[in-house]
Amino acid sequence: MAADKIQDSSRSVGVVTPQVARFAAPLSLRCGAALRDYELVYETYGTLNSDRSNAVLVCHALNASHHVAGHYANDPASTGWWDNMIGPGKPLDTRRFFVIGVNNIGGCHGSTGPLSTNPDTGRIWGGDFPVITVEDWVDAQARLADHLGIQQFAAVMGGSLGAMQALAWSARYPQRLRHSVVIACAPNLSAQNIAFNEVARQAIITDPDFNEGNYRAQNTAPKRGLRVARMVGHITYLSDDEMANKFGRQLKNGKPGYSFEPEFQIESYLRHQGNKFADYFDANTYLRITKALDYFDPAFDYGGDLAKALQPVIAGMLVVSFTTDWRFSPERSREIVHALIKNRAPVTYAEIDAPHGHDAFLLDDARYHRLVAAYFERVHGEIPS
Amino acid sequence: MNGPRGTQRPDFAAIANWIPQGARVLDLGCGDGTLLKYLQQTRRVNGYGVEIDDGNVLECVKNGVHVIQSDLERGLADFDDGSFDFVVLSQTLQAMRNTERIVREMLRVGRAGIVTFPNFGYWKNRLHVLRGHMPISANLPFEWFNTPNIHLCTVDDFEKFCSQRGINIVARTVLTGGRPATVLPNLLGELAVYQFGG
């Protein structure tokens, strides 16, 4: 165990410190509202080269943040959410690339969101924070790139909702990235995906402590709702097989207690995940992020024609799916691939045979990591030295 | 699915001969991407490889080839009608379960198809069988019990297959030891390379 830790630390970006970028120009949102000014919290790893051509933006998914890799000085356990992917000698190698993680607008990890103060009222935004979209996030990220003096990313990368941002980047700012790495993605949510999100939202909204999103003013939080929302989410992140392998029908005490206490291991797992989440995540952010997922549909403005929506794409595209992901199944990734092929775009598609379901994109899988490493090798090879 | 592809294969040059500069090429069962890389370098082609094997997909990425991981037996649903100049199936035809379907799909997706396959009628193969054993050679490197090659055929068999289905053979090169075998190709040819159209 100790040896593992030592080995890990040599491949870690080490101690990291978040930074804040402030933007005074208003950000117009897709919903029609605008943020008068805003802040983005971000972290960077590695060194930006002299012609600023080795930057990789890593977009986060539902519950994650700008803290992608490394750990904080006062907390060695605070490992970034994609630390197995990013670091020295890792698939996205920080000895070669300048990697940026950013907390999105509407988030609850420091960037402007429902927990921030509304400059118009002087009070916490709470339930009044506007509904945000993937495109809004991408626009804000583009401003961060301006702020950092990065005209063109070597790559934009993400998994799940993060992949939707990487995809949106390639169509929205085609000149500003050379590659897009789109992992465990879908071109839009299915009715079933939206249904799960709506159950999660209703759990939060109907929590008596929700108070139309203005729970902070009452010093409460709809934790019960958030807990259930997270439990629902976790069901969709795992494959049936993975759940069976991990928990099966195991009972904590080995025999039924004929009660409503958590007895099956899966019940304990979901409650644990729910409790953990409700303690650190903001319900208003959760509502908005699930809405951003629901609304994501680049083809919507093009009569449902995804190829048309992706017509501007000139970046090299790597699309990766996982065989047991039923939340965003390989078939959904294939829709993206099909549209890109139709456009004769440079696309590579890999379907990783992994047992873990949607969560696979976050896990160590040798084939998956080797593939991403090889792709970034290619990305690196194109950077003029 | 394929034979060894690490080194330059004799059928690659024959295929490249038929492919003009800048053509759009789809390479089915592209292995590690060697052929596409070769065509990209020598013919500046655009296109994709299709490959099922994880290891080969990884090698394609390393070779700078755009690869789509997919099972050819599922057809070519990712590709639209007439979207390629050439659809290549090199040393894979004999390993396909549904031979006719993939040939039809090649002609749907491409203006022309190119297939290469080991000629089972090659005299050395016949000799193996005469001696009572399944042939093993550079082009047929597998034992009978572990071969992926379930639909081996001869040059004559393939031509009959095409003529019965109205598939027009545009060009043919039969190779032995990397050189064209012009006399008695069904007997003296080791590796067949065909270009066909609808």
Nearest-angstrom CA–CA distance, A123 and A115:
10
pLDDT at residue A63, rounded to an integer: 86
Which of the residues A93, A297, A325, A359 is marked catalytic? Answer: A325
Residue-by-residue DSSP string for A39-68: EEEEEEES---TTS--EEEEE--SS--S--
Q: What angle do CA A323, A329, A333 make, to 5 degrees?
A: 100
Record the tokens describing residue B101, joined without a space: 């379907």
pLDDT at residue B4, rounded to an integer: 41
CB < 8 Å to B79, chain A: 341
Which of the residues A116, A160, A239, A333 is marked catalytic? Answer: A160
Which of the residues A179, A358, A359, A365 is marked catalytic? Answer: A358
Contact B58 A367 (CB under 8 A): yes
- Closest among A338, A183, A332, A348 to B75, alpha carbons compared: A338
Q: Look at residue A7 and tell me whether its pLDDT is greater than 50.
A: no
What's chain A's average pLDDT?
A: 95
CB < 8 Å to B78, chain A: 334, 337-338, 341
pTM of the entire predicted model: 0.94
Percent of chain A past pLDDT 70, that is, above it, reads 98
Q: Look at residue A9 and tell me whether its pLDDT is greater than 90.
A: no
pLDDT at residue B3, rounded to an integer: 39
- Based on the residue annotation, tell me whether A358 is a catalytic residue of this protein: yes
Percent of chain A past pLDDT 90, that is, above it, reads 93
pLDDT at residue A5, rounded to an integer: 44
Q: Please, where are the H alpha helices in chain A?
A: 2-10, 134-147, 161-172, 191-205, 223-237, 240-246, 265-280, 283-295, 306-309, 330-342, 366-381
pLDDT at residue B198, rounded to an integer: 75
- Based on the residue annotation, tell me whether A338 is a catalytic residue of this protein: no
pLDDT at residue A8, rounded to an integer: 59
End-to-end CA distance of chain B: 26
Element (H, E) at B86: strand B84-90
Q: What is the ipTM of this complex?
A: 0.92
Mean pLDDT split into 10-residue runs, chain B, 198 residues: 52 93 97 96 95 97 97 92 96 93 96 96 95 93 94 96 96 93 94 93
Nearest-angstrom CA–CA distance, B74 and A253:
47
- Closest among A56, A62, A60 to A41, alpha carbons compared: A60
Segment A219-248 shows an average pLDDT of 94
Asked whether B66 and B46 are in contact (CB, 8 A), the reply is no
CB < 8 Å to A341, chain B: 48, 68, 78-80, 83
What's chain B's average pLDDT?
A: 93
